[in-house]
Amino acid sequence: MTQPDPSRRGRLKVFLSYAAGAGKTYRMLEEAQELKKQGADVVVGYFEPHGRKDTIEKIEGLEIIPRRKIEYRGVEFEEMDTEAILRRAPQICVVDEFPHTNVPGAERAKRWEDVMVLLNAGIDVLTTMNLQHLESLNDQIWQISGIRVRETVPDWVVKQADEVVMVDVTPEALINRLRRGVVYAPDKAERALENFFKEQTLTALREMALRQAAHEVDVRLKDERPTDRILVHITGDPASAMLLRRGKRVADYLRAECFAVYVSPRGDLSELPSATQASVEKHLNFARNLHIETRVLQGQNVAVTLVDFAHRHEITQIFLTRSVSRGFKFLPARNLISQVLRLAHDIQIAVVAERRNPART
pLDDT tens digits for 163-175?
989 898 888 888 8
Share above pLDDT 70 across residues of the chain, in percent, rounded to a whole number: 89
- Report residue 279 CA to chain centroid gap: 21
Q: Place 323 in a pLDDT band, splitting at 50, 70 and 90.
A: low
Instruction: Grade residue 205 by pLDDT with cuts at 50, 70 and 90.
Output: confident
- Domain made up of 229-360: CATH architecture: 3-Layer(aba) Sandwich (3.40)
Q: How many CB atoms lie within 10 A of CB 162?
A: 14
Q: Report the pLDDT averaged over residues 228-234.
A: 94
Residue 208 or residue 323, greater confidence? 208
CB-based contact 91:121 (threshold 8 Å): no
Q: What's the one-letter identity of residue 267?
A: G
Residue of 105, 102, 61 whose CA lies nearest to 80: 102
Which of the residue ranges 49-58, 112-121, 151-160 would you say has the lowest mean pLDDT? 49-58
pLDDT at 200: 86
Specify the pLDDT at position 360.
44
Give the single-character DSSP code of 106: B
Average pLDDT over residues 248-256: 88
CB half-sphere exposure, 157, CA atoms < 13 A: 23
Over 80: is that where the pLDDT of 257 sits?
A: yes
- If you average pLDDT over residues 8-12, what whole number do you get? 93
Distance CA 152, CA 289 (A): 11
Nearest Cα residue to 6 out of 88, 123, 110, 108: 123
The dihedral of CA 274, 298, 350, 137: what is its sign?
negative
Spatial neighbors of 295 by CB under 8 A, at least 6 apart, are 259, 260, 261, 262, 309
pLDDT beyond 80 at 334: no
Cβ-based neighbour number of residue 58 at 10 Å: 21
Which residues make beta-bridge pairs with 187? none
Band of pLDDT at residue 354, cut at 50, 70 and 90? low
Q: Which residue has the higher pLDDT, 357 or 40?
A: 40
**What pLDDT is attached to residue 189?**
75
- For 93-145, the pLDDT digits (tens) are 999 999 999 999 999 999 999 999 999 999 999 999 999 899 988 888 888 88
State the pLDDT at residue 361. 41
SS3 120: helix
- Alpha carbons 92 and 32: distance in angstroms, whole number: 8
CA–chain centroid gap for 168, Å, is 19
Ranges for all domains in the chain classified under CATH 3.40.50.620: 229-360
Residue 316 is classified by DSSP as S
Contact partners, residue 220, CB within 8 Å, separation at least 6: none
Cα gap 335→158, rounded to integer Å: 38
Contact 189, 51 (CB under 8 A): no
Most confident of 15-29, 86-100, 138-152, 311-325: 86-100
Considering only the top CATH level, what class is 12-220? alpha beta
Give residue 2's pLDDT.
Answer: 62
How confident is the model over 59-73, as a mean pLDDT? 94
Residues of the chain with CATH 3.40.50.300: 12-220
The per-residue pLDDT for 328 is 43
DSSP label at 97? -
243, 234 contact by CB (below 8 A): yes
- pLDDT, averaged across the chain: 87
* DSSP-assigned states of every residue in 323-361: ---SS--SS-HHHHHHHHHHH-TTSEEEEEEPPPPGGG-
261, 268 contact by CB (below 8 A): no
Confidence (pLDDT) at 357? 55
For 65-79, 189-203, 293-307, which range has the lowest pLDDT when averaged over its residues?
189-203
143, burial (CB in 10 Å: exposed 0-12, middle 13-18, buried 19+): middle
Q: Reply yes or no on whether the pLDDT at 188 is more than 80.
A: no
What is the enclosing helix (H) or strand (E) of 320?
Answer: strand 317-322
Cβ neighbors of 136 (< 8 A, separation 6 or more) are 155, 245, 246, 248, 249, 252, 290
Q: Kindly indicate the confidence band of residue 219, based on its pLDDT and cuts at 50, 70 and 90.
A: low
Average pLDDT over residues 331-340: 74
pLDDT at 195: 76
Q: Which pLDDT band holds residue 220 (cuts at 50, 70, 90)?
A: low
CA distance 8 to 151: 29
User: What local confidence, expressed as pLDDT, does residue 274 receive?
Assistant: 92
